Amino acid sequence: MKLAIIDRDGVINYDSDQYIRTPAEWKPIPQSLEAIARLNHAGYRVVVATNQSGVGRGLFDMSTLNAIHDKMYRALATVGGRIDALFFCPHIDESNCDCRKPKPGMLLDIAKRFNVDLKNVPFIGDSLKDLQAAQAVGAKPILVRTGKGEKTSTFKGLPKGTIQFVDLNDAVKHIISE
């Protein structure tokens, strides 16, 4: 099975330092939805792995998070794409849970759910936490320069093997061409 893991905020949709708190605030980055559809059509199962500490901070509740994701699913369907599974961590940093990236818990749950080894599975993200989580499970860290990615690209000590692209669209072109 071909699998690709993608972070949400800053990769699929525009991010905000104030969090994406409502469905109205969720806006896709140009060509991101089409890129996911291309992955689907190339035979990839697409999984979203996202930290959503806004839930733990009380900024929005689970029904709002579900409504945001419903908007994403509907938008994807209009371009022939889909998300096969969505994993999220609702906790804040201070909770020290195992599922919050950069810890590998969420990705290990994905591996278990899909019964796959994550070695060399592409993980596309815009933050150092995404790349570190990918590295922790042997996945292929891919940095996009949307969202926090431009700033992340300047960090010294990115995980070994990290490859960088302008956006999700360019990253997907590379993945499909491999």
Tokens for 90, please give them.
Answer: 């609702």
Give one DSSP letter per residue of 101-126, joined into a string. TTSSHHHHHHHHHHT---TT-EEEES
Cis omega (within 30 of 0) on the bond before 102? Answer: yes
125: which residues sit within 8 A by CB, 6+ positions away?
A: 6, 7, 10, 11, 101, 131, 133, 134, 141, 142, 143, 144, 149
Among residues 2, 41, 5, the alpha carbon closest in space to that of 168 is found at 5
Residues with catalytic annotation?
A: 7, 9
